Amino acid sequence: MAGRSEHIKCIFHLFYTAALWATFIQNSSGIPWTQEKLKHSAITLTQNEIEAALNHTDLEQMWQRDLRPLLVIRYPGSAGSQAVQEHIKTTLVSLGAGWEVTEDSFMSQTPYGPLPFTNLIATLDPSAKRRLVLACHYDSKYYPPQWHGREFQGATDSAVPCAMMLELARALDEELKAQKSSNSLYGSRHLAKKMESTPHPAGATDTNQLHGIDLFVLLDLIGAPSPRFGSQFPNTVHWLTRLQNIEKRLHSMNLLVDHLNSVEYFWPDRPIGRVADDHVPFLDRGVHVLHIIPSPFPSVWHTFDDNEQNLDRSTIQNLSKILQVFVLEYLNARPAIPSNPQNAP
């Protein structure tokens, strides 16, 4: 594996039922590129680098500009789903890193008849081979019209994960730009099959886009208080351990809010069994998966109480910070430190 000079490039995908952010990583290690993921090592940011990176994120702004626009009825084919798609696309295109947004639209038969689905795919640099993928779904569960006396917001399922990912894209915009220079599974089933049949890199005859995925990180049911994330897959438990390590470091730096113990969220030594979710079509095709879903599920799951009022701001802010550091360290991307960190905004 190449050292800190390895060339890293990035991509971001959003699709139903999964939203993916994939980071492409290129190097020359003398082994087949499809095996480089097995030897990938992350860096460890210094305290100053962590503080510099986290200065770029703002929970209150994320709440207003990304989360609230997602807290609408947005089942596939609805006006709300279309509005959410437009918000996601507009947000990503507006960033300086240069995201290229494409769509993968299709019809699929459901218990309520045929419905339209759209995978949103935003790519920063599709020419690189390897990808770190972050995923969540933006559409919400469908309830029949007679249930619509109340609006199902699907706040944890999965408005919050999508908002976190958009905020992450904003917060890391400068780093990604610098690196570039240097439940229903309709959508995930469709995209996994499509990626399996798409040569990667372009012109390849024996490798496809799934071979390029280093790690598929699926975020789901996030936003309720006191979540606990256990391990489902032995081959990715070391990445869950790294998330726990980041949690401990940020706790020791007093950067987490209402975080009483050094470990509250990530428990790699606690197997939780496999949970059916949007990662399954990728898992079944040999992709390495890190499934970040709380066990037990939030008490509001699939109820009309899964709304903004029942979200826990401290948890969302803390997990956003942990995830931001995780992505930077996986990418071997060190943020620039202001010349006078103590006076940084």
> Under a CB-based contact definition with an 8 Å cutoff, are residues 218 and 185 in contact?
no
Residues of the chain with pLDDT under 70: 1-29, 126, 128, 145-148, 180-187, 340-345
Q: How many CB atoms within 10 Å of residue 94? A: 10
The tokens for 71 are: 């807290």
> Under a CB-based contact definition with an 8 Å cutoff, are residues 26 and 130 in contact?
yes
> What pLDDT, on the 0 to 100 scale, is given for residue 45?
97
> What pLDDT, on the 0 to 100 scale, is given for residue 8?
33
Q: How many CB atoms within 10 Å of residue 277? A: 21
Q: Is the pTM of this model over 0.95?
A: no
User: What does DSSP say about strands 7-13 and 113-123: parallel, antiparallel, or unpaired?
Assistant: antiparallel
> What pLDDT, on the 0 to 100 scale, is given for residue 123?
72
Please give the Cα distance from 77 to 254 (Å, whole number).
44
Which amino acid is it at 41? S
> What pLDDT, on the 0 to 100 scale, is given for residue 121?
77
